[in-house]
Chain A
Amino acid sequence: MRVAVQVTLNGAALGNPDQRWTVRRTDRISFDASYSRVIDVEGRSEPMELAVEPRVDEPGNTAAIGAAVRHRVPWPFSPRRLDVSRAEFAVEWEISQDAPPAVASEDPTAILACREDRRGGVLFNTATVANRVLRVEVHDVLPVPTGAARPRRPAFPRGTPPPWEEDARGYTAAELSAGTNLNLMENPAVIPIMPEGVARDATNAARFRVTYYRPRTLGFTEEDTRLTWRVVPLAGGTATFCGRSTGRKVRLHGVRQGEVGLEVSFQGTVVAVCRALVLPLAVIPFRCNVLYGHATRAGLRPRSTWADIQRHMLMCNRFLWQLGLKLEPHPDTATIGWLPSAIPAANVTPAPGMPGFFSVTVPPVWTRGFTTARPAAVNSLPQVFNFAYVMRDADGNLGAGCYTRVGGSRFITDEGTPSTSWRRPSGVNPDGAARAVRMRRLPGHWFFRNSAFPNRYAMYITNGNRNDLSFAGTIAHELLHILGLNHRVEDPALLAAGTDYCDRVRFPPRQNLMHWNERSTIAQDLDIIQARQVRLCPLFSPPAAADGGGAPAPAGAGGGAAPGAPPARTGEEEEEDDGEED
């Protein structure tokens, strides 16, 4: 059979269009050098697309052979072999580095960065002149998962020095409560764009760092010039470095909304990548009310002081910073929010010199032993997040978020390399190519019915939290339920009963803040797909004043950020979550 093959790369034809091959079944065609192209991928963010259209070219028969191949390869463009199969034929092609970087030294122990992979994953391990390899990771889950969930790594030659990696531990309460900068947590899902008028400096930049490298004998320092970072715009996003762009640690500010890839290079070769969304910092205005059931009885007075609560909010904000969210006290101290008839307005007292903070004297059952969610709504305003510190509910919960209907589709999807949270296959060698990750949303639940509490977002927090870290973890966890996140890993009993609130991603096993019961010393991470979801919550898109009493838009010091929703696919399953109303 005589065949002709039309090959284009990024729309440009390759090779000789008049060339023909005579082949038999299972024969192989090798394309010559005219089918190669040198492409400068420095700063390139558009996907590469190879198109291959074979056809029979015989007298009286010019039929196409199967469907044309259109192989789209998104960033990152790491050297690797790729293949696409059809029933009728298969195409194998390769991205390779055009010219090896110059070797700086003839030292036989020096490392020459190059890469090889045959699994379709993005590879950033490096082979060498002296039977050595280099592995560098910028993992987006911190603390990095351990045990069976730890990142898969290629085999290293015998005698390779051990790796460098920091302890796989979360931040301690002392670390989370010291200082005032919110950008404590590294490798966040979101690089925030600061509001206009806010100076961009090291205190509000997103911090990224290398989480692992081997061999440790390379001794990379925090400012090491051998490691260079570069921002690759994806989906319109851009970010700039705050200070240097070299070393084990860098800082970035968001510039334009979208997504970016971050490449880490060694000797001119990309050795690690990570990914982040670039989104405006979203300010959530809040009110905090402490509900006292008695003037003196300890059993009816939540123990948290104003200083305690401010510390909880600081620590919570450090968790939320990973998603580009920030809680700020609502400045209106004059307007009394919703109150039941059992609580007169005179019982609401603003905390001196602390806008947004109130003490409220309530009947005992409004702060202890209640089963309803209504204590959370005491003194609440529409579109202002309301916190109620109480003694305990009837079930002994640490806290509970009070949801309104969020609506929308049940799933949200994220695509990119590495996959969100490096869910396997992560796209990082030796994993195969990253696949789209689909997450089940929490589109609403009936603590509050919108008819009674329009546009209300609230939670209560109980004395059952034993320490500051527990308070902060509970607050962040419940708040994110309200913004539409399910549990990353769910209670096995509920899974068995089919009544679970699992987001179906199920990875990492312990480190995500939305784990159903993991301690806050470990469960601290939030990832890209969660960042996509939270921006869809109506809390960030206030309705018009005429729409059901949703009057005040978020104000706060941030001036009511309009963060917008990042690019996301949400339309796969459009049915509403059922079982909301009874």
Chain B
Amino acid sequence: MSAQSEEAKRTLRESEDPPALALAAQVLAASARPEDHGALLDFLRSEEFRGRLDPPSEPRTSPEDRWIAKPLFTLEENRAPSAHAALAALMGDPAFNADLDCTDLLVEVSASMRPPSPSVIAFWRRYTSADSPHLHAIMRVLLENGDPLAVAEFEGLLLAAAPGPDDDDYRLDWLRRWVLRHRDSPHVLAMVERLVALPRPPSWTTEMQLVAAEVVFMHKRSWYRLNQMVLPPPLGQTPPEGRATLRRIADLVHARLQAGEALKEAMAATLAQLDEVRDASSPPDAR
């Protein structure tokens, strides 16, 4: 392993060939040794190295097409704490993040950094201003991450958002795509319960509360554009804790909001299904 690491480091120092550089970087990224991750971090922070890895002459298509994506994704998959520590260090590196593709890639890998460290949370906060080109990707990744801290970040950003007159209301997008996609998560459902129960801050209206309720009980094709169809997880995937939350959300909607017929019907249908859903962890004879 060590010899392999040394060979990889030599390649990283000397090669001008992007595929070879990416491969060598992946060797270090996949290593179990913290010193390999440290060495890789030094290379990734070097502007000269990044210039060899992704020469400016190569057409810039999408971040995932960049050679630098390979070691970053390998680090993400590595369970060693030092691998994620290297990623967290890059998140705090302004020079690295001057390249928007690199920031986009770090946003993607942050989905699996659970629980998110303070530096990861700081990274999310740094790039979620209303005019940030990373805002919407981070909103998606927060719920993909799914940790209570990440969900709390999502909730805070959702409540603070105030779309301008030129914008479509992107909160609808966040709710109908990302919340709906993770509506089997107890943490996400708990957030929705808070959103429905919440005394309303200025921009969080009754209409938005109804939308928050709709996305855990309904699914409509008309919510989505041709190229962004989202499918909800099967109801049976929701753990008992989440199912109890769903029932409380339904109670809250009935008690506090004026739900339309479609939502009422969807809630009734969901609750009826919940009655039939057995806890997957229950023994077969438990009834």
Contact = CB atoms under 8 A, between A and B. Distances in A.
Interface in B72-115: 99-101, 104
A365 B225 contact: no
Interface stretch (B5-13, B39-47, B167-175): B167-175
Interface string A60-83: 000000000000000000000000
Contacts of A293: 133
Given A365-B133, A395-B227, A372 B221 contact: no
A466 B136 CA distance: 23
Interface in A300-344: 300, 303, 340-342
A297 B170 CA distance: 26
A278 to B, nearest CB: 31
A299 B104 CA distance: 10
Contact of A466 (B61, B137, B140, B226): B61
A405 to B, nearest CB: 12
Contacts of A463: 60-62
Q: Which of A372, A373, A396 has the most CB of B within 10 A?
A: A372
A371 B56 CA distance: 28
A580 B137 contact: no
Interface in B132-178: 132-137, 140, 164-168, 170, 173
Interface in A362-405: 363-365, 367-374, 391-392, 394-397, 400-401, 403
Interface string A558-582: 0000000000000000000011111
Contacts of B131: 363-365
B163 to A, nearest CB: 9
A431 to B, nearest CB: 33
Interface residues of A, number: 49
B125 interface: no
Contacts of B137: 369, 394
B241 interface: no
A286 interface: no
22 contacts: A297-B100, A298-B56, A298-B60, A341-B164, A341-B165, A368-B100, A369-B134, A374-B168, A391-B133, A395-B228, A396-B62, A400-B225, A401-B226, A445-B225, A446-B222, A447-B225, A464-B61, A481-B226, A494-B229, A499-B221, A499-B231, A582-B220
A579 B220 contact: yes
Given A340-B166, A397-B227, A499-B221, 15 more contacts: A303-B60, A341-B165, A342-B166, A369-B104, A369-B132, A394-B136, A395-B227, A396-B64, A400-B225, A401-B226, A445-B225, A446-B225, A481-B226, A581-B222, A582-B222
B131 to A, nearest CB: 5
How many interface residues does chain B have, given as a range?
A: 35 or more
Interface of A: 293, 297-300, 303, 340-342, 363-365, 367-374, 391-392, 394-397, 400-401, 403, 442, 445-447, 462-466, 481, 493-494, 497, 499, 501, 578-582
B227 A466 contact: no
What does DSSP make chain B's interface, helix, strand, loop or mixed? loop
A363 B59 CA distance: 23
B61 A300 contact: no
A394 B140 contact: yes
Contacts of B100: 297, 299-300, 368
Contacts of B265: none
A298 B56 CA distance: 10
A392 B62 CA distance: 8
B17 interface: no
B157 to A, nearest CB: 14
Contact of B231 (A481, A497, A579): A497
Contacts of A298: 56, 60
A579 B166 CA distance: 24
Given A365-B132, A369-B132, A369-B133, A374 B221 contact: no
B164 to A, nearest CB: 8
A394 B166 CA distance: 18
